[in-house]
Structure formats: structure tokens, C-alpha cells
Amino acid sequence: MKSGKESYYDILGVDKSATPDQIKKAFRKKAREHHPDVGGSEEDFKRINEAYEVLSDPQKKKEYDLYGSMGGQGGQWTGGSPFDGYDFSDFDFGGTGSMWSEFVENFRQASGESSRSKRNRKGQELQVSLELTFEEAFNGCTKRVAIRIPSTGEKQTMDVRVPAGAVDGGKLRYRGKGEYGSGKGERGDLIIVTKVKPHRIYSRDGADVIMELPVSIDEAALGANVTVPAPDGTCVKLRIPAGTQSGKVLRIPGKGAKDVKSDSYGALNVHVRVVVPVELNSAQKASLEAFRAASTGQNSVRPAIDAKVKEVHSNAHE
């Protein structure tokens, strides 16, 4: 609604020739649209009721039309429910005579409490994202965060302590650091959402840390000892068993991240990936050819498939 010196006719959206029924209908519509309990403004709702109080009373309306005011009082609403003293018994919506009466009675009962709750309402939660490196999330850190309060536009800064083991999408709650409340209402909470940037070696699955370990075909076939870096800054010697297949997971307990919900630590899960060389020198090629010759007819790596091929060939010759 417009502010300023609107006439009561403008407030209700009727002209001076409006009948009492038209004024009542206009008020009824405006009251539903602008009541605070349905998201309207208390100030607009107050002005609508002031306008109706004057225009629905023949004597007050006559004085208002003559002097443009109510003896200097302006038809002021002096408190309580804005419906107190009004008779809505003849209001009707689509043939349901009690619907409007119930609607008004609910407003009458709630309006006082609604006004108080709006004056003393807790502020809304604010949510801010905080970007972290893998190491910052793994080890924990303290970072300064800038927050903008929507209602005032002011910028505030605070130091946020990120616990060791923080995960991507984790939430830190700071009570009373969010949006300001109205009246005596307390401030809302501030939610810090941690966003962990990808790492070139490690990834996380809760408290477990995952890394991929490429191994050569001879290391996978014959077995080998490999040194791997742990995310806590140490190095670990890892035994690759002979005959290790690509995809095997080797678990190192206690070398993962701290569990933020306890004092325990996850594991470092090493996923083995067997790497086949793209280029071979002459000695490597000769060795592999000798290996293939020695393996002919033995130790097939695809017995089920070979058996099916043999079955197909057999059927074809019958």
C-alpha cells in the first residue's frame, strides 16, 4: 500500500459514492490481504481498520467528508484486536455463513499475540560457505570469515575454528551470530558450511583417506615394497603382495583423518592400480615374449571365456 496522506477511500479502494455494502466488501478483502498473520504489514492493517471504522459509521463518514478528518483524531485504532466491536455476523463466503465469522474470530484471538511475537521475534539463520584446502580440513585450522547481515547491510568478521577432520559439507553452528531479531528477540544462528577443495593425491570418505597407488606389472606379479606418503606428513612402507590385482585395497589403520565425533582416526585406504607400459625397450619386450612363451597353455587369465569359446567351436563342428 502507498504511504502518506491517502484518503480513507483510497485505502479501501472505493470512491465516495460507494454504498455501505461496497465499503464492507472492500474492507473484508483488504483485511484478508493485509493481516499480519498472513504476511501483511501491521501498519497497513491498522490504516485499513481506521478507514473502515470511519467510513462504516454514517455520522463519522459525514464528518470525514466535510472536514477530511475525525475531529483531529483520524479514526485512530487504540489497541486490542482490530475487529473488537465489529459485527461480522452477516458476512458470507460462497454460502458458508460461518466461514468468515470463524476467520475473524481466529484473527481476533491471534492478533494480540501476533503483534507481540512480531515485536520480539528471533532473527533468521544465516549460512556462509568456508573454503578449505585438504590439509586445513585434515589438520584443523582457524580462519577469519566475513559475514554480511542482510537486515542492516553491515559487515562483521569473526574467527572460525575448524576442527581437525572437517569434512566437505560439514556444518559449524555459532549461536547468536546470525540475523538480528526484532524487538527483544534474540539473534539467529550462523551456520558455517565447510567446502573442501580437491587434492591431487588424496580424497576423503568420512574419516578414511583414499589414495590411488600405481604399480608396475612386475611389482604386481612378483610383489614389492613401496613407500607411500600419509596425509599426516609421515611416510609408510607398504608391502605389495605377489599377484596383486588392479583394484585391490590395502588398508593402513590410524593414518586417516580424525573423526570429528570422537577421538578415533580413520584409515588410509590405498587402491592399487596396475599400470601397463605403453612403450617397451628391447630387453623388456624380449622378457615379456619369453614370459608369454613360457605361459602358453598354462595359467590362463580368462578360463571361463576360454571355456565358452571352446564350447562354441565344438558346437559349430557338430
Final residue in a domain of this structure, among 119, 153, 179? 119
- The conformational region for residue 196 under phi > 0 = left, psi -120 to 50 = alpha, else beta, is beta
Pairwise CA distance, residues 301 & 298, whole Å: 9
Residues 109 and 76 grouped into a single domain:
yes
Residues 48 and 98 grouped into a single domain:
yes
Is the pLDDT at 43 greater than 90, yes or no? Answer: no
Question: Do the Cβ atoms of 50 and 87 come closer than 8 Å?
Answer: no
Question: Do the Cβ atoms of 251 and 267 come closer than 8 Å?
Answer: yes
Neighbours of 106 (CB within 10 A): 11
Biggest alpha carbon–alpha carbon distance for the chain: 117
Is the pLDDT at 75 greater than 70, yes or no? Answer: no
- How sure is the predictor about 110, in pLDDT bands with cuts at 50, 70 and 90? low
DSSP for residue 236 = E
In a domain, 184, yes or no: yes
Question: Do the Cβ atoms of 166 and 160 come closer than 8 Å?
Answer: no
In a domain, 2, yes or no: no
Dihedral of CA atoms 132, 138, 143, 149 in degrees, nearest 10, equals 60
Mean pLDDT, the chain, rounded, equals 84
**Alpha helix ranges (H) inside the chain:** 8-12, 20-34, 42-55, 58-67, 97-119, 134-139, 217-222, 282-295, 303-316
The arithmetic mean of pLDDT across residues 120-137, rounded, is 94
Which range scores top for mean pLDDT: 2-16, 19-33, 162-176? 162-176
In a domain, 134, yes or no: yes
DSSP secondary structure string, 240-253? E-TTPPTT-EEEET
Q: Which domain CATH number covers 188?
A: 2.60.260.20
pTM: 0.59
Final residue in a domain of this structure, among 144, 178, 196? 196
Question: Do the Cβ atoms of 152 and 180 come closer than 8 Å?
Answer: yes
Residues 45 and 132 grouped into a single domain:
no
Pairwise CA distance, residues 19 & 58, whole Å: 11
Residues 152 and 214 grouped into a single domain:
no
Residues 237 and 309 grouped into a single domain:
no
Which range scores top for mean pLDDT: 7-11, 68-72, 129-133, 297-301? 129-133
**Structural domain that includes position 93:** 8-119
Residues 16 and 90 grouped into a single domain:
yes
Instruction: Return the higher-pLDDT residue of 93 and 206.
Output: 206
Residues 91 and 12 grouped into a single domain:
yes
Instruction: Return the higher-pLDDT residue of 29 and 228.
Output: 228
In a domain, 28, yes or no: yes
Question: Which among 255, 212, 264 has a CA at the least distance from the CA of 231?
Answer: 255
Tell me the backbone φ, ψ of residue 110, rounded to 5 degrees. -90, -20
Residues 22 and 110 grouped into a single domain:
yes
In a domain, 3, yes or no: no
Question: Which among 87, 82, 115, 81 has a CA at the least distance from the CA of 101?
Answer: 87
Residues 150 and 220 grouped into a single domain:
no
Residues 250 and 211 grouped into a single domain:
yes
Residues 6+ apart with CB under 8 A from 176: 186, 187, 188, 189
Cell of 293: 612363451
Pairing state between β 208-216 and 268-275: parallel
Cell of 161: 575454528
- Return the CA Rg of the chain: 39
Pairing state between β 190-196 and 202-205: unpaired
In a domain, 72, yes or no: yes
The pLDDT value recorded for residue 102 is 60
* Residue type, position 241, single letter: P
Residues 17 and 115 grouped into a single domain:
yes
pLDDT tens for each residue of 78-99: 334 444 444 444 444 444 445 5
Residues 182 and 269 grouped into a single domain:
no
Question: Which among 214, 221, 211 has a CA at the least distance from the CA of 241?
Answer: 221
Least confident interval from 26-40, 171-185, 218-232, 304-318 = 26-40
Overall number of domains in the chain = 4
